[in-house]
């Protein structure tokens, strides 16, 4: 209880609130800009957290994550372009609303729904995490190695369009993670005589390059002219009638979003799609969906923000991120010497409570900023690419340099950006690459640890019911797309 | 050659397979300690991964052969010489060589102004104003607030 109050005092301190509100605002702006995602926002501000206390840095990033998911709805409503993948379904009812001149109302409804969904997701995180963490205390190296394999398989199956390309991405990420001194017998691997590479590849510049610079290069290449927002946002607060519909329709999106978010690999976009389709199927007037109704916005916006709390469950309890953005958050935690997992709950409960309460604060900040700043968002979206892209590129360079004051890291960032661009052109998603790079040392250390315990016998990976269960789940996950493809061919 | 450039899958499969084979060759040069007390050496994990990469790449290549031919370069990129992304890349690469002698402030002002120009901004006031504003904001956040020692150069700040 003392730790809870200490965490509360910490979160409510002026400096922390400033960071949470600042992070959430940045997140909303980044999310609102078409083409830029919450992951990019978290990635390019990652080095800043190095200069803050661990909890402060983490809450800054969680604010960006929360704001980013909501921010995506603004471009979806005003421009019919999802600001981030999670707001894809928001375009269906948000844009027709804006075309009727009710863009402000749509943004207001999205803010309230995101707040409700976010709150339920965080409450689920608060109540489920300690239970799961307790169960995870019995995990040994074999279970952790299998869990890493499960996380990597999950991101491949869900994020990548092709399973083969997804696993190629994972292999590239894991191979990058082997660069440097071998952790057990101190033998250099792929270092080519470079002193900088002896310590391994610093994943922070690579993350910045893969998610930040790569997006800049894609936008600079395509040279697409974006549609400009013409209308002005007037009334933002939802009406009493809207509130009645929101409260009635938020229940199902809340649990769908939380559950889908907690599944490794799944995220806000899938949660919103499932929730929207369920709402259409359950409605007595399904033909009204897609014409700009509150029910449609409620289904997508509540679910995608509920997925945030859900997505934090595997990260906090098992240390296994299930998506690109939580992979970057894991990177931030490791960088600040926080090792997420079951031990964190017993060794540093104050930090765990600070994260939980901070997420609540970020969710509240999102509601306040979402409603208060709705009128300036159309101007933000209208920023020309010629102004936006150099600013993001500069931030990438400074961010990569700032952590170690190293020009080598700037080079790594550039390599990450160019590599990410080329991989994209070959159809390889950067998500599995990054997850492989971050989880690589964990996977290798636990795999080799388990093999040592068993004197080189692979049977250790099927020696406990838990390891068999994780292995079976992984196999089922990988087999799923293959079965689906076979069924489609037969049909 | 035609098979290689049939579509993105064949090209990607060939390139990744090449990478896999190269890595396998590199791994064979790893120095493994004489007294190998541990059951798995430093070469084991990279070896498994390089083999997996090679086999997956072959699978991707075969997948590509079964798919119809498709252009490797997307339609949106065709006919462009890529000056815009190249200016961003060269500009950023110049940070490595010019940030020390010029200092962060001068370099950032130049970078922002030049890259904005290359991306299509032609109004001198907009070029200079945004460059100054963003440089000042980054300086305040990184140097003043976070105490990051960004290169100074000839200027006193």
Q: What is the DSSP string of A341-356?
A: SHHHHHH-HHHHHHHH
Which residue, among B27, B60, B92, would best test binding to A if mutated, counting the most A CBs under 10 Å from its CB? Answer: B92
Task: Estimate the share of chain B in helix, then strand, then coil, as percent rounded to the nearest 5.
Answer: 65, 0, 35
Structure tokens at B75: 């339609």
Closest chain A residue to B80, measured at CA: A221
Asked whether the predicted pLDDT for residue A159 surpasses 80, the reply is: no
pLDDT at B100: 93
Distance from the Cα of B68 to chain A's closest Cα (Å) equals 16
pLDDT at A37: 79
A221 contacts B88? CB cut-off 8 A: no
Judged by DSSP in three states, B36 sits in coil
A221 contacts B77? CB cut-off 8 A: yes
Q: What pLDDT digit, counting tens, does each position of B79-117 carry?
A: 665 788 999 999 999 999 999 999 999 999 999 999 999
Distance of CA A397 to the CA centre of its chain: 22
Report the share of chain A in percent with pLDDT over 90: 39
Which residue, among A57, A397, A403, would best test binding to B if mutated, counting the most B CBs under 10 Å from its CB? Answer: A397
Angle, CA of A412, B49 and A437, to the nearest 5°: 35
A428 contacts B56? CB cut-off 8 A: no
B12 interface with A at CB cutoff 8 Å: yes
pLDDT at A485: 72
Distance from the Cα of A206 to chain B's closest Cα (Å) equals 15
Q: What pLDDT digit, counting tens, does each position of A80-123 carry?
A: 877 777 888 898 999 898 888 888 889 999 999 999 999 999 99
pLDDT at B10: 95
pLDDT at B128: 94
B143 interface with A at CB cutoff 8 Å: no
B107 interface with A at CB cutoff 8 Å: no
More confident call, B7 vs A487: B7
Asked whether the predicted pLDDT for residue A155 surpasses 90, the reply is: no
pLDDT at B78: 64
Measured CA to CA, the distance from residue A462 to residue A257 in angstroms comes to 33
Half-sphere exposure of B98 (CA within 13 A, CB side): 15
Asked whether the predicted pLDDT for residue A173 surpasses 90, the reply is: yes
Element (H, E) at A189: strand A188-189
pLDDT at B12: 95
A171 contacts B31? CB cut-off 8 A: no
| Predicted complex ipTM | 0.93
C-alpha distances in Å from residue A142, one per residue of A436, A464, A468: 18, 9, 10
B92 contacts A51? CB cut-off 8 A: no
Measured CA to CA, the distance from residue B141 to residue B149 in angstroms comes to 12
Q: What pLDDT digit, counting tens, does each position of A398-410 carry?
A: 989 988 889 999 9
Closest chain B residue to A388, measured at CA: B116
Which residue, among B44, B148, B150, B152, would best test binding to A if mutated, counting the most A CBs under 10 Å from its CB? Answer: B148
Measured CA to CA, the distance from residue A12 to residue A16 in angstroms comes to 7
* Residue A189, strand partner residues: A180
Confidence class for position A47, pLDDT limits 50, 70, 90 = confident
Q: What is the dihedral of CA A45, A49, A54, A59, to 10 degrees?
A: -30
A414 contacts B92? CB cut-off 8 A: yes
Confidence class for position A225, pLDDT limits 50, 70, 90 = low
pLDDT at A274: 87
A200 interface with B at CB cutoff 8 Å: no
A224 interface with B at CB cutoff 8 Å: yes
Closest chain A residue to B118, measured at CA: A386
- The mean pLDDT of B52-71, rounded to a whole number, is 94
Distance from the Cα of A256 to chain B's closest Cα (Å) equals 34
Range 60-89 of B in CB contact (< 8 A) with A: 60, 63, 74, 76-77, 80, 82, 84-85, 87-89
Confidence class for position A45, pLDDT limits 50, 70, 90 = confident
Asked whether the predicted pLDDT for residue A236 surpasses 90, the reply is: no
- The mean pLDDT of A152-171, rounded to a whole number, is 83
Report the share of chain A in percent with pLDDT over 70: 96
Measured CA to CA, the distance from residue B119 to residue B88 in angstroms comes to 9
Using a CB-CB cut-off of 8 Å, the residues of chain B touching A162 are 60, 63
Asked whether the predicted pLDDT for residue A297 surpasses 60, the reply is: yes
Asked whether the predicted pLDDT for residue B36 surpasses 60, the reply is: no
More confident call, A268 vs B50: B50
Asked whether the predicted pLDDT for residue A229 surpasses 70, the reply is: no
pLDDT at A108: 92
Judged by DSSP in three states, A180 sits in strand
A288 interface with B at CB cutoff 8 Å: no
More confident call, A195 vs A380: A195
pLDDT at A487: 77
More confident call, B140 vs A223: B140
Q: What pLDDT digit, counting tens, does each position of B118-150 carry?
A: 998 899 999 999 999 999 999 998 888 888 889
Tell me which of A209-213, B30-34, B134-138 is least confident. B30-34
- What's the mean per-residue pLDDT of chain A? 87
pLDDT at A150: 85
Closest chain B residue to A402, measured at CA: B148
Closest chain A residue to B87, measured at CA: A220
Using a CB-CB cut-off of 8 Å, the residues of chain A touching B50 are 171, 175
The DSSP string of A423-475 is HHHTT--HHHHHHHHHHHHHHHHHHHHHHHHTTT-GGGGGSSHHHHHHHHHHH
């Amino acid at each position: 209880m003392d730790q809870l109050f200490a965490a509360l005092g910490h979160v409510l301190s002026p400096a922390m609130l400033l960071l949470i509100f600042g992070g959430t605002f940045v997140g909303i702006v980044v999310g609102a800009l078409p083409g830029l995602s919450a992951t990019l926002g978290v990635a390019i501000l990652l080095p800043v957290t190095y200069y803050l206390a661990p909890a402060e840095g983490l809450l800054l990033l969680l604010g960006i994550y929360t704001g980013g998911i909501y921010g995506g709805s603004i471009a979806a409503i005003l421009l019919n372009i999802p600001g981030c993948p999670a707001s894809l379904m928001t375009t269906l009812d948000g844009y027709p609303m804006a075309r009727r001149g009710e863009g402000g109302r749509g943004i207001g409804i999205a803010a309230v729904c995101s707040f409700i969904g976010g709150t339920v997701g965080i409450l689920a995180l608060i109540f489920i995490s300690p239970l799961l963490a307790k169960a995870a205390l019995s995990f040994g190296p074999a279970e952790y190695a299998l869990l890493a394999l499960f996380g990597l398989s999950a991101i491949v199956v869900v994020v990548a369009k092709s399973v083969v390309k997804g696993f190629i991405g994972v292999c590239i990420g894991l191979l990058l993670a082997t660069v440097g001194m071998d952790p057990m017998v101190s033998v250099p691997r792929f270092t080519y005589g470079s002193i900088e590479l002896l310590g391994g590849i610093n994943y922070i510049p690579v993350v910045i390059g893969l998610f930040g610079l790569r997006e800049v290069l894609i936008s600079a290449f395509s040279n697409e002219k974006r549609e400009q927002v013409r209308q002005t946002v007037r009334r933002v607060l939802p009406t009493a009638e809207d509130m009645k519909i929101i409260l009635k329709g938020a229940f199902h999106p809340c649990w769908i979003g939380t559950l889908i978010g907690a599944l490794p690999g799944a995220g806000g976009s899938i949660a919103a799609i499932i929730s929207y389709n369920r709402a259409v199927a359950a409605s007595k007037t399904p033909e009204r969906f897609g014409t700009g109704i509150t029910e449609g916005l409620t289904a997508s916006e509540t679910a995608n923000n509920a997925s945030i709390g859900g997505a934090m469950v595997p990260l906090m309890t098992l240390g296994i991120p299930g998506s690109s953005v939580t992979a970057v958050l894991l990177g931030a935690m490791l960088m600040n010497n926080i090792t997420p997992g079951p031990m964190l709950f017993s060794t540093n409960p104050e930090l765990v409570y600070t994260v939980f309460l901070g997420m609540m604060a970020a969710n509240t900040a999102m509601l306040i900023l979402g409603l208060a700043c709705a009128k300036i968002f159309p101007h933000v979206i209208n920023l020309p690419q010629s102004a936006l892209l150099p600013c993001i590129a500069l931030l990438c360079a400074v961010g990569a340099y700032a952590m170690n004051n190293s020009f080598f890291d700037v080079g790594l960032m550039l390599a990450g950006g160019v590599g990410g661009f080329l991989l994209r052109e070959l159809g390889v998603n950067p998500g599995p690459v990054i997850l492989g790079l971050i989880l690589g040392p964990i996977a290798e250390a636990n795999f080799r640890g388990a093999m040592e315990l068993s004197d080189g016998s692979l049977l250790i990976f099927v020696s406990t019911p838990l390891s068999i269960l994780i292995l079976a789940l992984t196999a089922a996950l990988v087999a799923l797309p293959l079965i689906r493809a076979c069924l489609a061919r037969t049909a | 050659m035609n098979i290689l450039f049939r579509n993105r899958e064949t090209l990607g499969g060939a390139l990744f397979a090449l990478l896999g084979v190269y890595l396998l060759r590199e791994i064979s040069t790893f120095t493994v300690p004489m007294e190998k007390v541990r059951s798995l050496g430093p070469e084991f994990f990279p070896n498994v991964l390089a083999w997996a990469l090679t086999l997956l790449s072959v699978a991707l290549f075969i997948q590509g052969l079964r798919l119809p031919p498709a252009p490797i370069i997307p339609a949106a990129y065709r006919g462009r010489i890529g000056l815009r992304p190249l200016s961003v890349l060269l500009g950023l690469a110049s940070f490595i060589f010019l940030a020390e002698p010029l200092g962060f402030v001068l370099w950032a002002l130049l970078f922002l102004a030049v890259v904005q120009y290359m991306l299509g901004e032609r109004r001198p006031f907009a070029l200079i104003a945004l460059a100054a504003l963003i440089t000042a904001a980054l300086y305040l956040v990184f140097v003043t607030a976070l105490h990051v020692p960004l290169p100074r150069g000839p200027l006193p700040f």
